[in-house]
Amino acid sequence: MKITIFQHVPFETPGSIESWALSRSAELSTVELYNHQRPSVPPDCDLLILMGGPMSVGDQDKHPWLADEMKALERVLKSDLPVLGICFGAQLIANVLGMRIFKNKYKEIGWFPVERIGDNPDGLDLLPEKFEAFHWHGESFDIPQGAKHIARSEACENQAFLYKDRVAALQFHLETTLPLLQGMIDKCGDELDGSKYVQSPEEMLAEHHRFYKVNGLMNTVLNRLTDLK
């Protein structure tokens, strides 16, 4: 199995995706877009993963590689390749599918509950009915035409969607590990303003069992997507 990862900043790494790939004897190929590596997807790729990042889809003046990434993603979405978008990666998918990305009513940073919306009649239930996930976002997306809206939270109505049963867009982070979270706090800690849905670093780092739970959910999502091939 061969997996291509588009990474947007050094500190938003694949996290637990790496250990899952190792357990499946999968080959990970990371495209470091922040280092101006070309956003290409090899023809023998089995899964494309778009990681998160603190930028917005309209920041092409600051990040010129975004335009090339969107063109590459547009081609992939027209193919049969499974795709997983995480946070900013999910926003990229929504935007390429013609949807607006907008400032959410609340910033959502920390561990907060998510609930699944409905069931997929085709059997690809990626998420449990209720679960806790890690969040770090201030923007959201509209649900693309033809996609299934599959999750919401109290702070953000559009948390996830499934498109053509092979493209999963998740606003939240299931790949979060302790080092990954610490890196986000170190690099983006100025966003922690103490507002309603923003936890302190101490709250976010307090209970390590949370990482194991979300990483288990990440494994489920990855297993379901790669089993489509």
Residues involved in catalysis: 87, 173, 175
Give 3-state DSSP helix, strand, coil % of the chain, rounded to 5.
30, 30, 40
Residue whose entry in the numeric block shows the structure tokens 């109290």: 154
> Is the CB of residue 149 less than 8 Å from the CB of residue 131?
no
CB 36 within 8 A of CB 65: yes
> Maximum CA pair distance of the chain?
46
| Rounded-to-integer distance, Cα 113 and Cα 101, Å | 22
184 and 204 Cβ atoms separated by less than 8 Å: no
Residue 76: CB atoms within 10 Å? 21
